């Protein structure tokens, strides 16, 4: 019985991607061209954010159109302390995760009372409130944002000032995030979340307070995305309300759908495709958004499993 | 002397102008199989919905093991020991058969907020799920995806999930719905085994099944109980004949 469940096979696409990401700094070291390092860094940070969104959207069936709020909260949790010359990374990250969790708890408690399109709109509305909240605080730059002059430090051990250090910090964070989400989704809690996505009415009937489970899942997702936001603030050295614009939330949804919603590695493929395509298309044409839209339509119509679905079909994933 | 496990008194529910449950009172005794029959639109499914907590009555009271559960949500009733099956198959599509049942099992052993240990490696959980599947004759189908099962197997899984919550009272909403004779016989055998150790409230259209299984029958018409008693007394009850079959007819037809 166990064999059927724990059938293990190598995931070539994942192993190759991780290998490439791990070795990229060496390549950059040799060529001195750190453009790709920045690209991959952004890719991985957005991948963590997409992984967190996938937890509620893909696994839990909660379509949040406001997930960028947590990127903003995370980034400001680095930026505002830095403004007061507090650069302690542990403090900043704990703040990012905690404030994100509280924001998720408060907004989720209200949002999860609604369903379908109402849920989508209300999550977006809360994020817009956070957006305008930040815009209105002149002290922290308001509309113009805030420059982070020094990246996070971790005592005397290390700091993220060096791009390669930051890169590996993000790299390890991504791997740990994927591992955590995998464990969560295979746990009893994860089974309840999957069940609630599939048939909430039956789940209630067999004894689950699905609202509470979904809320916990929503908070976990917010915490992880807040963490990604803290990395993003460090990476960009500059934070602004733009980070939590509703289009940023849309882009995260785009990544999840493109990569394969509900698949563990889907968000990784989605974020990678998004960042690389954006880079490539925008160098060819200013109308690159048009091609993005067309691609999403094609994926939704003809490849419901997204990129991960296509990869498994040709035996490269799962 | 048998104890009353479920006591419904003066239950009423209207939808707009339609009276679905009309001042209904009935008792279910510990260990019995109590069948509810009635023509289409008699309010049978509405009654199940009120007993399981999906809708709340306008008036009246439901006592389960002397506890007032009238306004409790479904998940709390499940914890108290009431389980239901659905007339229209309601399962977790996209998951394995055994996962469906294991979810029902873990719901009632009180440890669902576990975030780290893989649920599928939990031997106790798996074993009780397998036991419940055996009970409804689905052994060997554990690792099939729910959507790949036949209609009959879906109906069996419906019952297995209800059973896996270890209920004191089973509410079965037309377990034979849409079944052929052969599949129906299978379910009938399952129910015959089950009734020996579970209290069951059964809603069923198939009269052969009802009379083969029921210890007591209540006849529902327009949301009202017009008769209640042993199968024999229901068979010969004039009011039942009139309401249920028209003025002329026979319950066995």
Give yes or no for A189 touching B (CB within 8 A). Answer: yes
Average pLDDT of span A261-274:
95
Running DSSP on this structure, what letter comes out for residue B81?
Answer: T
Whole-number pLDDT of residue A314: 83
Interface contacts (A, B; CB < 8 Å): 108
Whole-number pLDDT of residue A1: 38
Q: What is the pLDDT of residues A292-306, one digit of tens each?
A: 889 989 988 988 889
Whole-number pLDDT of residue B245: 62
Of A70-74, A250-254, B207-211, where does mean pLDDT reach its minimum?
B207-211
In a domain, A5, yes or no: no
Confidence of residue A10 (pLDDT cuts 50, 70, 90): low
Whole-number pLDDT of residue A161: 86
Please say if the pLDDT value at position A316 is more than 80.
no
Whole-number pLDDT of residue A318: 60
In a domain, A4, yes or no: no
Confidence of residue A4 (pLDDT cuts 50, 70, 90): very low
Please say if the pLDDT value at position B251 is more than 60.
no
Confidence of residue A3 (pLDDT cuts 50, 70, 90): very low
Task: Identify all chain B residues contacting A1, using CB atoms and an 8 Å cutoff.
Answer: 126, 142
Best residue of B73, B75, B99, B161 to probe chain A, by most A CBs closer than 10 Å? B75
Whole-number pLDDT of residue B244: 67
DSSP string across B127-188 = HHHHHHHHHTT-TT-TTSBGGGS-HHHHHHHHHHHHHHT--SEEEEE-TTTT--HHHHHHHH
Residue B183: burial class (beta carbons within 10 Å; 0-12, 13-18, 19+): middle
Confidence of residue A5 (pLDDT cuts 50, 70, 90): very low
Q: For residue A81, give the CATH number of its domain.
A: 1.10.3470
Q: Do the Cβ atoms of B103 and A189 come within 8 Å?
A: no
Please say if the pLDDT value at position B247 is more than 60.
no
Task: Identify all chain A residues contacting B74, using CB atoms and an 8 Å cutoff.
Answer: 204-205
Phi, psi (degrees; rounded to nearest 5) at B158 = -50, -50
Whole-number pLDDT of residue A289: 86
Give yes or no for A211 touching B (CB within 8 A). Answer: no
Q: What's the start-to-end Cα distance of chain A, in Å?
A: 20
DSSP string across A153-208 = EETTTEES-SHHHHHHHHHHHHHHHHHHHHHHHHBHHHHHHHHHHH-HHHHHHTT-
**Element of type H or E holding B61:** strand B59-64
Confidence of residue B121 (pLDDT cuts 50, 70, 90): confident
List the single residue in A188, A198, A204 with the smallest CB-CB distance to B112.
A188
Indicate the angle between helix axes A210-236 and A163-186, nearest 10 degrees: 170
Sheet holding B4-15, edge to edge: B18-29, B4-15, B59-64, B67-68
Average pLDDT of span B205-217:
90
Place of tokens 């034979």: B176
Give yes or no for A207 touching B (CB within 8 A). Answer: yes
Angle (nearest 5°) at CA A92 between A89 and A93: 85
Task: Identify all chain A residues contacting B75, using CB atoms and an 8 Å cutoff.
Answer: 204-205, 207-210
Q: Where are the CATH 3.40.50.300 domain residues in chain B?
A: 1-81+168-253
How many Å lie between the alpha carbon of B130 and the closest alpha carbon of chain A? 11
Q: Do the Cβ atoms of B90 and A199 come within 8 Å?
A: yes
Please say if the pLDDT value at position A224 is more than 90.
yes
Q: How many folded domains does chain A comprise?
A: 1
Task: Identify all chain A residues contacting B115, using CB atoms and an 8 Å cutoff.
Answer: 183-184, 187, 189-190
Give yes or no for A186 touching B (CB within 8 A). Answer: yes
Q: Is the ipTM of this complex over 0.95?
A: no
For every residue of A25-61, which 3-state class applies, written as one string?
HHHHHHHCCCHHHHHHHHHHHHHHHHHHHHHHHHHCC
Q: Do the Cβ atoms of B114 and A205 come within 8 Å?
A: no
Q: What is the pLDDT of residues B157-200, one digit of tens each?
A: 999 999 999 999 999 999 988 888 888 888 999 999 999 999 99
Q: What is the pLDDT of residues A144-196, one digit of tens each?
A: 899 998 999 898 888 898 899 999 999 999 999 999 999 999 999 999 999 99
- Cα separation, B174 vs A205, in Å, equals 17
Whole-number pLDDT of residue B1: 56
Strand ranges (E), chain A: 146-147, 153-154, 158-159, 238-239
Q: Do the Cβ atoms of B108 and A4 come within 8 Å?
A: no
In a domain, A6, yes or no: no
Partners of B227 in the β-ladder: B219
Q: Do the Cβ atoms of B107 and A204 come within 8 Å?
A: no
Whole-number pLDDT of residue B40: 82
Average pLDDT of span B95-119:
87
Percentage of chain B surpassing pLDDT 70? 94
Distances (CA, A) of A240 to A64, A123, A133: 21, 20, 12
Please say if the pLDDT value at position A87 is more than 90.
yes
Please provide the average confidence, as pLDDT, over all residues in chain A: 92
Please provide the average confidence, as pLDDT, over all residues in chain B: 89
Domain span holding position A309? 12-313
Q: What is the pLDDT of residues B14-45, one digit of tens each?
A: 998 889 999 999 999 999 999 999 888 888 99
List the single residue in A191, A201, A206 with the smallest CB-CB distance to B78.
A206
- Cα separation, A278 vs B11, in Å, equals 62
Place of tokens 């249920």: B244
Q: What is the pLDDT of residues B60-94, one digit of tens each?
A: 999 999 999 999 999 999 999 999 999 988 999 99
Average pLDDT of span B108-120:
81
In a domain, A137, yes or no: yes
Of A95-109, B113-127, B212-226, where does mean pLDDT reach its minimum?
B113-127
Whole-number pLDDT of residue B253: 44
Give yes or no for B196 touching A (CB within 8 A). Answer: no
CATH number of B1-81+168-253: 3.40.50.300
Whole-number pLDDT of residue B240: 82
Please say if the pLDDT value at position A212 is more than 70.
yes
In a domain, A140, yes or no: yes
């Amino acid at each position: 019985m166990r064999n059927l469940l724990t059938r293990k096979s190598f995931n070539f696409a994942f192993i190759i991607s991780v290998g490439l990401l791990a070795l990229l700094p060496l390549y950059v070291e040799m060529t001195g061209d750190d453009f790709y390092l920045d690209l991959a860094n952004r890719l991985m940070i957005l991948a963590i954010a997409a992984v967190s969104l996938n937890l509620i959207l893909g696994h839990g069936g909660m379509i949040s159109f406001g997930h960028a709020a947590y990127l903003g909260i995370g980034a400001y949790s680095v930026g505002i302390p830095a403004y007061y010359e507090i650069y302690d990374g542990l403090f900043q990250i704990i703040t990012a995760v905690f404030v994100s969790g509280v924001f998720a708890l408060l907004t989720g408690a209200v949002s999860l009372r609604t369903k379908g399109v109402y849920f989508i709109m209300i999550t977006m509305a809360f994020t817009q409130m956070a957006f305008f909240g930040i815009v209105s605080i002149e002290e922290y730059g308001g509309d113009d944002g805030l420059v982070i002059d020094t990246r996070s430090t971790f005592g005397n051990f290390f700091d993220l000032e060096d791009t390669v250090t930051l890169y590996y910090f993000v790299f390890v964070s991504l791997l740990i995030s994927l591992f955590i989400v995998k464990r969560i989704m295979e746990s009893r809690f994860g089974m309840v979340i999957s069940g609630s996505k599939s048939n909430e009415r039956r789940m209630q009937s067999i004894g689950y307070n699905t609202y509470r489970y979904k809320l916990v899942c929503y908070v976990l997702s917010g915490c992880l995305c807040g963490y990604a936001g803290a990395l993003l603030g460090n990476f960009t050295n500059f934070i602004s309300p733009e980070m939590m614009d509703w289009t940023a939330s849309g882009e995260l949804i785009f990544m999840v759908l493109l990569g394969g919603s509900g698949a563990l590695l889907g968000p990784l493929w989605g974020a990678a495709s998004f960042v690389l395509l954006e880079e490539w298309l925008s160098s060819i044409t200013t109308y690159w958004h048009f091609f993005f839209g067309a691609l999403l339509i094609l994926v939704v119509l003809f490849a419901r499993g997204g990129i991960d679905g296509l990869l498994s079909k040709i035996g490269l994933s799962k | 002397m048998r104890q009353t496990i479920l006591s419904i008194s003066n239950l009423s529910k209207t939808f707009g102008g339609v009276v679905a449950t009309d001042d209904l009172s009935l008792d279910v005794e510990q260990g019995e199989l109590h069948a509810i029959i009635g023509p289409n639109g008699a309010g049978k499914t509405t009654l199940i919905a009120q007993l399981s907590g999906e809708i709340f009555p306008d008036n009246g009271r439901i006592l389960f093991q002397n506890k007032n559960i009238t306004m409790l949500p479904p998940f709390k009733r499940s914890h108290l020991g009431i389980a239901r099956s659905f007339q229209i198959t309601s399962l977790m599509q996209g998951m394995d058969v055994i996962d469906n049942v294991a979810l029902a099992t873990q719901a009632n052993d009180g440890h669902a907020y576990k975030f780290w240990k893989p649920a599928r490696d939990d031997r106790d959980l798996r074993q009780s799920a397998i036991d419940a599947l055996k009970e409804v004759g689905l052994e060997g189908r554990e690792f099939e995806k729910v959507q790949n099962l036949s209609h009959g197997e879906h109906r069996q899984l419906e019952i297995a999930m209800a059973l896996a919550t270890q209920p004191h009272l089973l509410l079965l909403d037309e377990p034979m719905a849409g079944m052929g004779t052969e599949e129906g016989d299978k379910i009938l055998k399952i129910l015959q085994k089950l009734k020996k150790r579970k209290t069951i409230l059964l809603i069923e259209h198939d009269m052969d099944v009802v009379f083969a299984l029921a210890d007591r029958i209540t006849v529902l018409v327009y949301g009202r109980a017009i008769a209640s008693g042993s199968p024999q007394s229901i068979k010969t009850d004039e009011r039942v004949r009139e309401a249920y079959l028209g003025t002329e007819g026979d319950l066995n037809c």
